[in-house]
Structure 1
Amino acid sequence: MSTSKTIAKNTLFLYFRMFLVMGVTLYMSRIVLDQLGVTDYGIYSLVGGIVAMFGFLNSSMSSATQRYLSFDLGKKDEKRLQKTFSATLSIHIVIAILILLVAETLGLWYVNYKVVLPPDRLFAANVVYQFSVLTALVGIIQVPYDSLIIAYEKMNIYAYISLVEVGLKLGLVFLLVIYGGDKLIAYAIMMFLVSLIIRIAYQIYCRKNYAASKFKFEYDKTYFKELISYSGWNLFGGIASVSRSQGINIVLNLFFGTVVNAAYGLTLQVQSAVNQFVTNFQKAVNPQIIKTYSEGNLAQMHKLIIQSSKFSFLLMMLLVAPILFNTEFILNIWLKEPPEYTVVFVQLSLLGVLIDCISGPLIVAVQATGKIMRYQIIIGSLIILTLPLSVLWIYYGGDPKTVFYAILLINILSFIFRLFFLKVLLNLNILYFLKILIFRMLSVSFIVYGFFILLDQFNIASGWINIMFSILTTVTFVLIIGLSKSDYVLLRTFIKK
């Protein structure tokens, strides 16, 4: 199957999965917020976030797993592929044990002595914490199986298993509504059970379809050292991501309390759902970027990087622009009474998503080379600066939304440095990249923004009519200004396939 046809097919499967999961996730958030209340929802968001902080080891290994499995497939080396899978699974088991130890010592101490919690919810928070730890451990062991499916580009499996996941989560919501006990505890337990069932489903599929997934422990000191070294440099990226998402969550709790945590937690859910719109497209392209590098086809790799960055932004623009200019109306429909700061949090986070979405292919391209030491030190250090910068601004009188100003600033700086690394490592033509991408990106952004400002000033429409008008306007300008003639040819080919 050709590269473009594979990408087209996998993208369709991933978008089917995305809309399914996004719809259920947003519906669940509304019901869960209503059932738990703002305080308990904030507790779940905060305590679950602390567990995620200990997942930075896992996140660093997960990108290494994906890179090496895709690289081996590009080389068509089945023996090496099984060796890589077994080695990465062994390392993930060790990571799970390490995270369990840290979570049950440092993490447990932090929850009980440092987190600002209502005294009568301390027991519930501890139960939530324990089941969040178990959920995290299940996710850690699942990574090599997920990575293997992605490396083989069998994205339809995600769509099929998502049907099961969606059904289970909908059942979870209905059980929560009728349950008469402590709903916060019940929700944490049920979320763990869902994650466990899905984990088993992925493992069964891999065992039946991929010989490489049959675990065979073989200690190769040199190869383990190579994997761990690569993951070690990726560690900065994991720490940086945690610092920006969950570290800020803790800062907001210390300065403003659990109500702001609820607003931040809901914002992260919106951000995650919106990110899926582009992540699914990039997930279909990423294995091809790595494989073209392993084959030595840099010209095709450059083409994939530029085109996927451009389409990532335009796809994100289609979704983000209508939400940005109708945020309050959408949140009121979704949540009935959104917590304070939710509207402005969502708007600022979506601006950050727009800037950051074009970096996805750049990150994968750098990782494909395996030369990530300087990249991770510089980019990781930059992103980690988000946390002290946020604390500084809040300390000198900033309100909760200032944390998003820090995120926006760091996103822009990180993008600039990523381009520099691609020039050095892959000889990417930066001027050509900027000409193809930035000019059209800024043109679409300013014209759509100006049109929406006029729409708001003259109060031409409101409510659902305004949303529909916003969608039609964004689609029109993206098609007219955002796409070139060659893009139209590519788009027609994509649709036919």
Structure 2
Amino acid sequence: MNLRLLRNAWSNLLGAAIPALVMLGTVPLVVKGLGEASYGVYSLVTAIVGYFAVIDINVTAGSVKYIAEHQAREDRAKVAETLTFGLATYTLIGLVGGAGLFLGAAWFVNDVFTVPPRLVQEATDTLRLASLGFFLGQLQAYLNSVPQSLMRYDISSRVEMVFGTLVPLATVGILMLGYGLFEVILLRVVASSIHCLILWRAIRRLLPGLAFRWPGQRIRAELLGFSAYSFLARFASLSYAYADKLIIGALVGVTGLAYFTVASTLANRVLSLTFRLSGVFFPAASALAAKGELARLDQVYLKATRYVVYLNAAILVLVAVFAHQILALWMNEDFARNGAVVLTVMALSQFIDSLTSLPSLVNDGMGHPRVSGMFALGRACAGLAIVYVGVAGWGIDGAAWGHLVGSLLFTTAFVVYVHGRTVPTSLGRLLSQGYAPGLLGVALVAIAATAAEQLFDGGMTDFLVILALTVVLLGVHGVMFVIERDDRMLAWSRVKQRWQPAGG
């Protein structure tokens, strides 16, 4: 079971990591091809479409659980009923949300957001086209969850990796041919259609003989009941993820939104990768809790926390300390000047948010989704109010600082509340065994790197030397003080096994 979880975790990571690298690599070309104002409109369109996803009642959560259970019992009728209800639900959500986007496109562009007059018509047409993309995106999200419910992350991640790589590359190609924003969105709509068809074919192979069956009231009630509190968390996270861009679009304008989106996207994509590794921890936590093996759960949880926190902290140092240089090399000096503070502060905010990922998984695995759902809802409401004040007073830098304040307040409250209550690990053990081994040394490296960057950074050579030394120091600290002795010995024995034949 552990090996299977490891393989699923690795597949899940690759499904996000490779597309993230390709997307980050193509962003400068997309911004150049569209122009900063049009890229701001593109960010605004995707934010509006993403925000409409709050109407998703998250039936995928219940569907994953019950398809897995019914498949294990070889109850094909209930698998079919669960899948039929899920598809019907997401078809309805897609139709309602798509209709709202199509009918409200002109109002959004003309009355809600600050869009340059020359881009108003293009933005309206693009948002109407994106309404079809919303419909297809809802179907795609549900179909993608079905292989995962069957513990076939390799299939869903492989398809995700292919499309997540090809679509950004094709976007660059379209812009190089002289096309614009409308054609970029059209590409994504077509890609989503093909993505859905491929997923459906995969599902038919995984579930031969599948036929649509409308479920009875009991199955519908189980699905909706299980998904109810998960919906709160999803609603909150989507609101928080997209509403800041809508606020910036309304108060600052699309050019400022472009600077903020590029910097915050980089922070989010880099620091969220480890969540793909830890995401498969949920079924493991559920299984250990069901068996009453709380001591084993405590041990695994602390080790996972120790490694994930260190990894995220190391990434944070590299992104935050060298934010200006990264943006200057990746984009240009204008983005570095306008977005360096945003990148630094958003990276720190993302790191603090990441401290809730493993506790949330254990909390839900122990059967308390209400706790994580209510905290997430409170975070979204209060956090967005703080972000609004920040944007109104200090523009895009204020948005980043608002995110950081919200992260500090609600992450602290959540971590303190759940440990010793819904998570069977004390707060003291979490701090001493989960956080301290990684954070103390990383903090010292961050201070040294910041001082060196301020004192000696006179050009590209100095930057590369300081960056290399920082990476080496972070690696040495991880090997010496974070990775546990048994894991170091196991890793070293594996290395020797691999090299022994070559040496012989």
Question: Normalization by structure 2: what TM-score?
Answer: 0.87
Q: Structure 1 residues 164, 394: CA separation in 2 closer, same or farther (over 3 Å shift)?
A: closer
Pair 1:405-2:404 in alignment: no
Which residue in the other structure is 1:149 paired with? 147
- Conserved? CA contact 2:257–2:396, under 8 Å: no
| Further displaced range: 364-373 or 435-444 | 364-373
Residue of 1, 5, 29 corresponding to 1:7: 5
1:366 equivalent to 2:366? Answer no
Q: Equivalents in 2 of 1:457, 1:240: separation in Å? A: 39
Letter aligned with residue 109 of structure 1:
W
Gaps of 5+ in 2: 499-504
Counterpart residue type for residue 321 of structure 1:
V
Contact 1:74 1:294 in 2 (8 A): no
Matched residue, 2:96 = 98
Displacement of 1:159 after TM fit? 4.9
TM-score normalised according to structure 1 size? 0.88
1:281 CA drift (Å)? 0.9
Between the aligned partners of 1:391 and 1:330, the Cα distance in structure 2 is 27
With over 3 angstroms needed to count, the CA separation of the structure-2 counterparts of 1:382 and 1:165, relative to structure 1, is: closer
Name the CA shift for 1:299/1:148 in 2 (closer, same or farther; >3 Å). farther
The CA deviation string for residues 331-381 of structure 1, in whole angstroms up to 9 with x for no partner, is: 122113443532111111111121122322222233334543354224311
Please say if residues 97 and 134 of structure 2, whose CA atoms lie closer than 8 Å, have aligned partners that are also in contact: no
Aligned to 1:60: 58
SS class of match (2:58): helix
Match in the other structure for 1:47: 45
Note if 1:21 corresponds to 2:19.
Answer: yes
Aligned 8 A contact 2:271 2:315 in 1 = no
What displacement does 1:78 show?
6.2
Alignment counterpart, residue 353 of structure 2, candidates 351, 356, 361: 356
* Secondary structure of the corresponding residue to residue 462 of structure 1: helix
Aligned counterpart, 1:311: 307
CA shift for structure 1 position 489: 5.2
Matched, 1:31 2:33: no
What is the Cα deviation at residue 59 of structure 1? 6.7
Moved more, 321-330 or 218-227: 218-227
Between the aligned partners of 1:289 and 1:86, the Cα distance in structure 2 is: 28
Map of 1:465 onto structure 2: 465
Distance 1:351 1:422, change over 3 A: same
- Structure 2 CA distance for aligned equivalents of residues 210 and 124 of structure 1: 43
User: Are 2:33 and 2:175, in contact at CA under 8 Å, matched by a contact in 1?
Assistant: yes
**Structure 1 residue 486: deviation in Å?**
4.3
Q: Does 1:172 align with 2:168?
A: no
State the 1:38 CA deviation.
0.3
Residues 11 and 157 in structure 2, CA contact (< 8 A), matched pair in contact too: yes
Identity %: 14
Q: C-alpha separation between the residues in 2 aligned to 1:151 and 1:336?
A: 43
Q: Which amino acid aligns with 2:262?
A: L
Aligned mate of 2:229, from 233, 238, 262: 233
- Compute the RMSD of aligned alpha carbons: 3.0
Equivalent residues, number: 491
Alpha-carbon contact 2:167-2:188 (below 8 Å) kept:
no
Amino acid at match of 1:210: L
The CA deviation at 1:72 is 5.7
Among 195, 200, 207, the alignment partner of 1:203 is 200
| Alignment check: 8 A CA contact 1:441 1:482 kept | yes
Q: Which structure 1 segments of 5+ residues have no match? A: none
Distance 1:204 1:435, change over 3 A: same
**Matched letter for residue 463 of structure 1:** F
Report the equivalent of 1:424.
421
Partners of 1:58 and 1:494 in 2: CA distance = 45
Contact (CA 8 Å) 2:285, 2:362: kept in 1 or not? yes
1:69-116 superposed Cα distances (whole Å, 9 cap, x missing partner)? 456668887665444333322322222223223323456532332111
Shifted more, 195-204 versus 102-111: the winner is 102-111
Does residue 456 in structure 1 map to residue 464 in structure 2? no
Task: Find the residue that maps to 1:443 and give its secondary structure.
Answer: helix
Q: Which has the higher contact order (CA 8 A, sep 6+)?
A: 1
